[in-house]
Amino acid sequence: MRKYQILWALLVSILFQPCLAQETVTGAQLKALAQRFAQVQTIESQFVQENHMALLTDPVRSKGKFYFRKNPANLHWQYTEPFENGMVFQDGKVFRLTANGKTPVKGSVARTVIAQMMTWLAMDVERLDKYYRILRQEDCLIFVPRQKQMGDSMQISLWLQEGDLPSIKKLELQETTGDRTILTFMHTRLNQPLPQGVF
Amino acid sequence: MRRWILFHKRLAALLAVLLITLSCFVARSIKLDEDMSALIPSPIQKEMELFSESALHRKTFLGVQATTAQEAQRALMVLQQELAPFLIKPFEPGVEMGIDLLHALPYRFSEQDKEELGDRITPPGLADQMQKNREKLFSLDGFFLRKQVLNDPLDLTQLMIKKLSLFQTAGVEYEEGTLVSKDGLTRLAMVDTTFPAARFQDVRRFDRAFKRAVEKLGNTAQAFYLGAVRYTAENVKAVHKDLVKISILAVIGLAVLFFVFFRHKTALLIYLLPLVILPPAAVVTALIFGRLSGITLGFGSVVAGLSVDYVIYIFFAMCYSGDLPYEAAQRLKKHLECNFLTSAMCFVALFFSGVEVFRQIAVFSLLALSLSLWLTLYVLPAYFTALPKKTAVMYASSQKGLSKREAIFVAACLLLFGAFGVQQIRLNVDLNGLNGFSAKLLEDKKRAEPVLGSAQQTHGLLFVLGNTLDEAQAKNEQLARQLGETWAVNEVLPSIWGQVIRKQRWKNFWTADRVQYTRLMTEEEAAKQGLNAQAFEPFFKGLSQETLPPDTFDFTKIYNPFVSLSDGTYGVANLVPDEKKYEELGNGKDVYFLSSASLQKKLSLAIRYEAITVVIVAFLLNLLAVWGVFRNWKHALLTFVPVITGACMIFGGFALLRMQVNLFVLIFLPLLMGLGIDYGIFQVMKYTHPEQEKLYPNRALLAAGFSTLVGFGVLAVALHPVLKMMGVSALFGISGAALGALFLLPPFLEERK
């Protein structure tokens, strides 16, 4: 019975391979992508985050909003549900947002997280290409780490919103441990003045 | 010897040239030592060694100041990248840091930790912890924190972080391994260099690389570096610039001296003398001490000035008396030997100083002067040509001196001037006063102030020593227990016995019952938060295990509070507030408290003690020497008149110019004593031996004074504060001594004549 199962799996994978084909994104395509994202200077968006973790009994969902400015680099990332927290990167300093206000963060972890987030939001293609092998599968870009990093290697899938200006529609982090995080962005406003006081 | 030289003048000259060449060749291989330790009196050498070996002192501070915090951050990163070949790779906490800290805790589990953990392992405490864990998962950095929650659901790591935070100094902000000012515009990275701070060739290479790195930063940020490396760089620059400048000025001064006083080819031998005596003296001194300070070498110009006095006296004696060279040398032999004796006594007194540089100077000068005296009496006359009558006449001069009453009045004025100076003198006891530093360094130190705040002034280092590192650690723990205090070093780096006790405490705490209770409570509270308690199973399994995971956390990679001393002992450095109770703990045996203020106080006391001892010893030795020569107490005491006038001029001059003087001016006093007595002997010899008056023309004393002034006085233009202080002291002191000998002494001696 087990032998048939293996054969069946092989057959299915061969038959469906063309449909799931992943192609490497060429240098020219990356350049074009970088040029399009270069036009984006500010982003304001809401998001829903879905976590599937071995550490949680059930998948959980959290919500929030973020504001991003490319130059000078500023980020305000705020969760509103189920907990009110977040981080702000302002004038080279990282602050943690709590229900009671914002407090400076000194650790390198927070800075690393902020740097990573800003790399993705700005779609710093050059930097991403350095650390990830970039593939395309239908309307999705897949980023496979070139080296094992941050403990657990992970694959990141990205769906872009096409329009006059590009933006990220959905982002999925798939870890080797089986944990998964999905971020879906909505009500995204590009290159619009950001509200006062967010930075 | 004299006969042999007379008959083999060319061979002797060739031998001298060979000696100079060989000495210069060997001298080239001498490594000039710019280490400040050679300037420190021996009673506080131990303190200085502890201070210089401590981690904070060994660190180099790379700093940047920019218009925006982001720019400061970027600039510091660029600076560190550019200087990477000179820097030891800094410790970077990786993802395993959390696990390392967790595994480190049992070896450092204190009574305080036990109490705190006991309070946390309660239903409300665990409920609170599980909620925090859940919250961590829903934060932006949740991706990184997730692993931490999984490995350490009770957040025991926090206990270790608390211990580490004990190292944090009040008023100093840390951010990712760098020190940051409140506005974020100034950042300092504490780095270790791959080379010792005292190795000046590496320091020069580093300094050049730093300048190249600064060019890459552009105009948006200003960079600087501080620490022992910077002091070495500044000292090296100052001493090297000084050596060139002093040498050039000394040559010019000597040329002027030649045209004013000598104007005869025979006098050129006077100028050759320092070239013959200084290189061998430097080589032998370096061999005796195993190193040679740049300051000792800088003192070469002083020795040059002193050493030519003997030949100058013979030259003028020949001019006035018409004696043949060897005759003049023979007739002045007693006087020159007496001069040498008094100078030598001063340097002998200096040899007993606790400051190595002064011992080096003593040996260097004694060697050079001995060689000079021997050459003057036995070798150089063979090369002198008889001076023409015309020359002798040219030097003859008459001089009307002061009356005794006038001399007393001038002496009284000078004494008042000196007393005023002593009262007004502004001593600078700052340790930095011993370093050569530029205005740029002061500017950079000011730049670092927003980051370091007043921490340097408000804190001190408490060192506890032991024969082994473990003994030092154990003593440190005992001392903290006695005071009822918690010291960061003991908490993070306990002794072997300390670790055994702490480990046992951990095992006693985590009984099977407590582990079981905690597990059940955690499962219950975790379930309420939607956390899968099964995921924490490995953590609880670890708590129940008999064998603890190995302690892989090496804090010394981040900060090393241990010092290894040259006498084979070890020390533990604790950063404590600058308070009297810590100062009182210092016993000078195995506990030392060092703060910026206490170190300066100790240095000041040590130098004062040095100066007083050396001056008293020099005075007694000189008094004995001149009494031995004259067998007359009044004559012996009168030889000290130029010394007193010189000292009055020094102190009065400093007060008049409102100069801040460093403690090393006190060391100049015995040197002044040697010089002043020489002039005094000259005058006493002249006035007590009327038949030999022609051997002692005033012009000879003036020429000798100026030649020393040319050697000594040029140090006044030095950048290095110690050399500069000596130079300025010489300008006042030698002028005062020479004028005292020429104008104040004769009225008292003429009466006897």
Cα nearest neighbour of A74 on chain B: B70
Lowest mean pLDDT among A146-150, B118-122, B510-514, B682-686: A146-150
What's the confidence (pLDDT) of residue A153?
60
User: Residue A86, exposed/middle/buried by CB under 10 A (0-12, 13-18, 19+)?
Assistant: buried
For the cut 60, the answer to whether the pLDDT of residue B626 exceeds it is yes
Q: What is the pLDDT of residue B489?
A: 92
CA atoms of B107 and B493, how far apart (whole Å):
9
Confidence tier at B475 by pLDDT (50, 70, 90)? very high
**Nearest CB to B184 within list A93, A117, A179:** A93
Q: What is the DSSP string of B399-440?
A: -----HHHHHHHHHHHHHHHHHHHHH-EEE--GGGGS---HH
**Most A CBs within 10 Å, among B100, B136, B146, B179, to test the A interface:** B146
pLDDT above 90 coverage of chain B, percent? 22
Per-domain boundaries in chain B: 1-30+264-396, 402-428+632-753
Of residues B605 and B170, which shows the higher confidence score? B605
Q: How would residue A11 be classed by pLDDT, with cut points 50, 70 and 90?
A: very low
pLDDT of B393 > 50? The answer is: no
Residue B325 near residue B386, CB atoms below 8 Å: yes
pLDDT computed for residue B520 by the predictor: 92
| Higher-confidence position of B60 and B454 | B60
**CA nearest B73 in A: which residue?**
A92
CATH 2.50.20.10 for domain A22-54+61-190: yes
B543-590, pLDDT tens digit by residue? 888 888 998 888 888 888 899 998 899 999 998 888 888 888 887 788
ipTM exceeds 0.90, yes or no:
no
Q: What is residue B334's predicted lDDT score, i.e. its pLDDT?
A: 84
* Chain B CB within 8 Å of residue A112 CB: yes
Strands, sheet with B221-227, edge to edge from the N-terminal-most edge strand: B173-175, B178-180, B186-191, B60-66, B221-227
Residue appearing with tokens 């290159």: A191
CB atoms B137 and A112 under 8 Å: no
The more confident residue out of A71 and A13 is A71
CA distance A115 to chain B (A): 11
Name chain B contacts of A49, Cβ cutoff 8 Å: 138
Say whether pLDDT at B1 is over 70.
no
- Say whether pLDDT at A21 is over 50: yes
Distance from CA of A130 to the nearest CA of B (A): 19
Highest mean pLDDT among A95-109, B223-237, B406-420, B738-752: B406-420
Residue B175 belongs to what H/E stretch?
Answer: strand B173-175
At A17, is the pLDDT very low, low, confident or very high (cuts 50, 70, 90)?
very low
Q: How many residues does chain A have?
A: 199
Q: Does A148 touch chain B (CB under 8 A)?
A: no
Residues contacting residue B362 through CB under 8 Å, at least 6 positions apart: B347, B348, B350, B351, B353
Q: Which residue did the predictor score with more confidence, B17 or B374?
A: B374
| CATH of span B1-30+264-396 | 1.20.1640.10
**pLDDT at residue B23 tops 80:** no
**In chain B, which residues have their Cβ closer than 8 Å to the Cβ of A87?**
139-141
Note whether B741 and B676 are within 8 A (CB): yes
In chain B the first and final C-alpha atoms are separated, in Å, by 38
pLDDT at position A130? 86
CB B318 within 8 A of CB B351: no
User: Rounded CA gap, A43 and A167, in Å?
Assistant: 9
For B92-125, write each residue's pLDDT tens digit: 666 677 888 999 999 999 999 999 999 999 999 9
Cross-chain Cβ contact A92/B72 below 8 Å: yes
Q: Looking at CA atoms only, how far is residue B283 from chain A in angstroms? A: 54
Domain B402-428+632-753 part of CATH 1.20.1640.10: yes
Give the span between the Cα atoms of B203 and B233, in whole angstroms: 6
Residue B3 burial by CB count (10 A; 0-12/13-18/19+): exposed, middle or buried?
A: exposed
| B1-30+264-396 and B402-428+632-753, same CATH topology | yes
When comparing pLDDT for B30 and B205, which is higher? B205
Nearest to A87 among B134, B140, B150 (CB): B140
Helix B698-713 and helix B300-321, axial crossing angle in degrees, nearest 10: 160
Closest CB from A60, A93, A151 relative to B530: A60
A50 touches chain B (CB under 8 A): no
* Whether the Cβ atoms of residue B160 and residue B101 lie closer than 8 Å to each other: yes
Residue B564 CA to residue B54 CA, distance in Å, equals: 9
Of A77, A87, A111, the CB nearest to B176: A111
**Cα distance from A173 to chain B (closest Cα, Å)?**
10
Dump pLDDT digits (tens) for B122-167.
Answer: 999 999 999 999 888 888 888 778 888 888 999 999 999 899 888 8
* pLDDT range class, residue B753, cuts 50, 70, 90: very low
Say yes or no: A92 contacts chain B, CB-CB below 8 A: yes
Chain A residue whose CA is closest to B146: A55
Residue B635 sits at φ, ψ, to 5 deg, of: -65, -40
Closest CA to B739 of B419, B398, B402: B402
Interface probe with B: pick from A48, A53, A55, most Cβ of B within 10 Å: A55
For residue B348, give both structure tokens. 């002998």
Are B90 and B84 within 8 A, CB to CB? no
Which residues on chain B are in Cβ contact (under 8 Å) with A111? 176
Q: Provide the 3-class DSSP secondary structure of residue B473.
A: helix
Could you give the angle at the alpha carbon of B558 between the alpha carbons of B554 and B561, nearest 5°? 85
Q: Give the relative orientation of helices B97-104 and B157-165 as an angle to the nearest 10 degrees.
A: 90
Own/partner pairs for B28-33, CB < 8 Å, 24+ apart? B30/B282, B30/B283, B30/B286, B30/B292, B31/B291, B31/B292, B32/B200, B32/B239, B32/B292, B32/B293, B32/B294, B32/B297, B33/B198, B33/B291, B33/B292, B33/B293, B33/B294
Q: Between B12 and B476, where is the model more confident?
A: B476
pLDDT score recorded for residue B68: 83
The candidate with the shortest Cα–Cα distance to B385, out of B320, B326, B307, B309, is B326
Looking at the partner chain, which of B70, B150, B173 has a beta carbon nearest the beta carbon of A91? B70
Residues B645/B736, Cβ–Cβ less than 8 Å: yes
The nearest CA of chain A is from the CA of B592 a distance in Å of 34
The answer to whether A86 contacts chain B (CB < 8 Å) is yes
Q: What's the pLDDT band for A148 if we cut at 50, 70, 90?
A: low
| Greater model confidence, B362 or B392 | B362
Which residue ranges make up each domain of chain A? 22-54+61-190
Q: What does the pLDDT read at residue B34?
A: 58
Amino acid B361 reads I
* Enclosing H/E stretch for B689: none
Lowest mean pLDDT among B94-103, B618-627, B650-659: B94-103
Tokens representing B710 are 């040319």
What single DSSP character describes residue B715? G
pLDDT value for A189: 92
Residues of chain B in contact with residue A51, where contact means CB-CB under 8 angstroms, are 137-138, 142
pLDDT in tens, B327-371: 888 888 888 888 888 888 888 888 888 888 888 989 999 999 999
Query: Angle, to 10 degrees, between the axis of helix B404-424 and the axis of helix B745-752?
Result: 140
Contact status, residue B594 vs residue B50, Cβ threshold 8 Å: yes
Shortest Cα–Cα distance, B167 to chain A (Å): 15
* Contact (CB, 8 A) for B490 and B480: yes
Which amino acid belongs to residue B156?
L
A-B contacts (CB, under 8 Å): 90
pLDDT band at A116 (very low <50, low <70, confident <90, very high): confident
CB–CB of B78/B64 below 8 Å? no
CB atoms B176 and A107 under 8 Å: yes
CA distance B223 to B209: 13
Region B655-680: what's the mean pLDDT?
Answer: 78
Whether the CB of A100 is below 8 Å from some CB of chain B: the reply is no
Interface of B with A (CB under 8 A): 68-73, 93, 95, 134-135, 137-147, 149-150, 173-177, 184, 527, 530-532, 535
Q: Which long-range contacts (CB under 8 A, 24 or more apart) does B688-694 make?
A: B688/B630, B688/B635, B688/B749, B688/B752, B688/B753, B690/B753, B692/B331, B694/B317, B694/B320, B694/B321
> CB distance B70–A73 less than 8 Å?
yes
Residue of A nearest to B144 (CA): A109
The percent of residues in chain B predicted with pLDDT above 70, rounded, is 91
Q: Do B137 and A85 touch (CB under 8 A)?
A: no
- Kind of pairing between the strands at B426-428 and B660-662: parallel
- The mean pLDDT of B666-684, rounded to a whole number, is 81
Q: Write the single-letter amino acid at B455.
A: A
What pLDDT is stored for residue B111 in this prediction? 94
Contacts of B174 in chain A (CB under 8 A): 106
- The CA distance from B134 to the nearest CA of chain A, in Å, is 9
Contacts of A85 in chain B (CB under 8 A): 135, 138-139
Q: Say if the Cβ atoms of A55 and B146 lie within 8 Å.
A: yes
